[in-house]
A and B are shown apart, each in its own frame.
Chain A
């Protein structure tokens, strides 16, 4: 679930308009989260940070209170009544398993991986398109991510 901050453009738009009367729908303002190491001093900070980690499209690194670390893609979170019965679910970068980590066991969180959804990719491509076109290139395209 996105946070209100992430959805602020849509919330602002809907505060003034009936959805049925909208001509254009607001997109989302990008938050720069890559490299972020949030403060986890309070329960509210822990929940907010993990909500953003769930929304993040890069890998994160979690340091448990016992000192062990896990790096991977945080694909789910289950929010309970306390930090002890709330947990995140991660697919580690090097394994094909799903690992649960309780919110209460988390000492530190880092948005360590590249945000694969970040950047003005489309605008950048349009600009690059004209550069390539001017250079005489053919069959220009946005290349998908290289996986190796």
Chain B
């Protein structure tokens, strides 16, 4: 199992309770953003561009607990910003664990090793470490030399201390599926519990506006990456969402599936789009015109989105929506997705289609050309 049985059971019973209660719209994971400031400035990230007085602001533990109670989801992800920069993060996490919420504390892990002693291992707590690929890919994704090594030191320390550690890999145009597969191997060897992978979103505020994957290329890339799976790989994602990424299943966006709460309030409509803020979770659910979002809405800002925050809940809903969904999910959990076509894509993939990645430590090739090279995003 990619998650503890207790967690899978909690989520399953939560979803079934919502369905039995006749609720059409219910969230799966609360995205709790206690702060926006970060110790990285990644090229593909559009989350951290704010004036200094906003970057200095943060939610109190009480603000966080109130949001969690309002929303009622069994799982809470804590993205940001970098959560470990929040001075009261240990208190926030402890409070959520005490409420028996399954917490994924998303971190770039630059501070994980030194702050690890402030947290206690628990089945309710997982450090979700953002690692965007093998060393070179990650370092350039996060625009920091040495970032990969520090993150993996944090992973090793957390694993050794008995914490649950998962990873989160975001792929942009320019990613090399062969390298991503090797990256998965490395993460499994490092002892992480399970991995999450998702295409990047077209953040309007991201520094790099040139490497956003279209849906056709996303499907091709994820088919290449996720077919012919190795037995050692464990994923922390809905099997139906992963089939959606591979182009094997159509899902419609569930924009209310992972609502976001930050210093501004409840973000309308979703984690990725900003269309204003509601002051309560109830107001969010009742005032957003949800039909205006999702690829099928024709909204250009949703046109190429395949991100987990919109579609992971769709995958879970599909699983629990019918006997067929349950059976397909059960089958998917044991499938390696043997696919000769996908193997050919892997074999033929040309990672240098936008020019070679900037090579850390091998400046001569690029500088000799005297031109800028394309790189992958966050």
Contacts and interface: CB of A to CB of B under 8 A. Distances in A.
A26 to B, nearest CB: 8
Contacts of A116: 49-51
B304 A19 contact: yes
A76 interface: yes
A90 B55 CA distance: 15
A120 B207 contact: yes
B55 A73 contact: no
A69 B276 CA distance: 23
Nearest to A113: B51
Contacts of A16: none
Nearest to B85: A144
B216 A22 contact: yes
A130 B146 contact: no
A125 B363 contact: no
Interface string A113-132: 11011011111011101100
Interface in B321-378: 358, 363, 366-367, 372-373, 375
A38 B202 CA distance: 28
Contact of B217 (A11, A23, A126, A140): A23
B213 to A, nearest CB: 7
B29 interface: no
A65 interface: no
Interface string A44-84: 00000000001101110000000000001101111000000
A142 interface: yes
B301 A7 contact: yes
Contacts, number: 161
Contacts of B243: none
A25 interface: yes
Interface of B: 37-41, 43, 46, 48-57, 143-147, 173, 202, 204-210, 212-217, 263-265, 275-277, 295, 298, 300-301, 303-304, 358, 363, 366-367, 372-373, 375
A78 B299 CA distance: 20
A28 B212 CA distance: 11
30 contacts: A7-B301, A10-B202, A14-B303, A21-B215, A21-B216, A23-B216, A24-B173, A24-B213, A26-B202, A26-B212, A27-B212, A28-B204, A57-B49, A58-B51, A72-B53, A78-B276, A89-B277, A114-B51, A119-B207, A122-B208, A125-B143, A126-B358, A138-B145, A141-B40, A142-B144, A143-B41, A145-B41, A146-B52, A147-B55, A147-B56
A59 to B, nearest CB: 5
Contact of A11 (B41, B263, B276, B300): B300
A122 B49 contact: no
A143 to B, nearest CB: 7
Contacts of A94: 53
**DSSP class of B's interface residues: helix, strand, loop or mixed?**
loop
Given A25-B303, A142-B144, A126 B372 contact: yes
Contacts of A147: 37, 52, 55-56
A57 B206 CA distance: 12
B372 A10 contact: no
A110 B304 CA distance: 34
Given A2-B204, A121-B43, 16 more contacts: A1-B275, A19-B304, A21-B216, A22-B214, A23-B214, A23-B216, A25-B213, A25-B304, A27-B204, A91-B54, A116-B49, A116-B50, A122-B208, A141-B145, A142-B143, A148-B52
Contacts of B301: 2, 7, 10
A25 B51 contact: no
Contacts of A148: 52
B145 A73 contact: no
A144 B61 CA distance: 25
A144 B217 contact: no
Nearest to A130: B367
Contacts of B207: 119-122, 125
A24 B146 CA distance: 29
B43 A144 contact: no
Contacts of A24: 173, 212-214, 217
Contacts of B50: 57, 73, 116
A19 B53 contact: no
A99 to B, nearest CB: 13
A8 to B, nearest CB: 9
B51 A93 contact: yes
B215 A22 contact: yes
B254 to A, nearest CB: 17
B375 A126 contact: yes
